[in-house]
Amino acid sequence: MNTSDILPSSDIFSSAFLVNNVGAPFVIGLAVGYFAKKMLRTALFLAGAAIVVLFIAEYYGITSINDIHLQNAASAAANAAKNSGSYLINRLSHVTAKGISAVGGFYIGFKMG
């Protein structure tokens, strides 16, 4: 008898394990969390590039940047990201009766992204 016949696969990210043992809500949450993290990183990259361009334009005298307005814009963007994250978690909690599997998948997908 082979030991692979007795012991289950240790690959917890294999599709067979996820679909058979965890379920579709977890996979949905995993996909949404992974996507959210990638989009957040992309948005931060673009925002950082825009700020650097503004700093360069200020250096060459093309524009003037008010630090208070820059901080207010950053705070508004952070609040928008927080609200969209809260919306995603709230929406995923309705995928199943208890929503634990989908929200858990979201957190793992967000960590993986």
What are the tens digits of pLDDT across the range 44-53? 999 999 999 9
> Does residue 16 belong to any structural domain of this protein?
no
Residue 9 forms part of a structural domain: no
Determine the average pLDDT of the residues in 11-28. Answer: 68
Secondary structure class of 99 (helix, strand, coil): coil
Residue 87 resides in a domain: yes
Residue range(s) defining the domain that contains residue 28: 23-112
Report pTM. Answer: 0.68
pLDDT at 105: 87
Mean pLDDT of the chain: 82
> What token pair was written down for 47?
């925002």
Number of domains comprising the chain = 1
